[in-house]
Amino acid sequence: MTAITAIPVTTPKWGRIALSLFAFTATLFLVAFEQGTITGGLPVLHEAFHDARHLLGFPCH
Interacting residues with other proteins (CB under 8 A): 13, 16-17, 20-21, 23-25, 27-28, 31-33, 35, 42-44, 47-61
**Shortest approach of other proteins to residue 49 CB, angstroms?**
4
**Shortest approach of other proteins to residue 5 CB, angstroms?**
21
Concatenate the DSSP letters of all residues of 10-35 into one string.
HHHHHHHHHHHHHHHHHHHIIIII--
Q: Residue 48, Cβ neighbours under 10 Å: how many?
A: 14
Taking the least distance from each CB to other proteins, the nearer of 5 and 13 is: 13
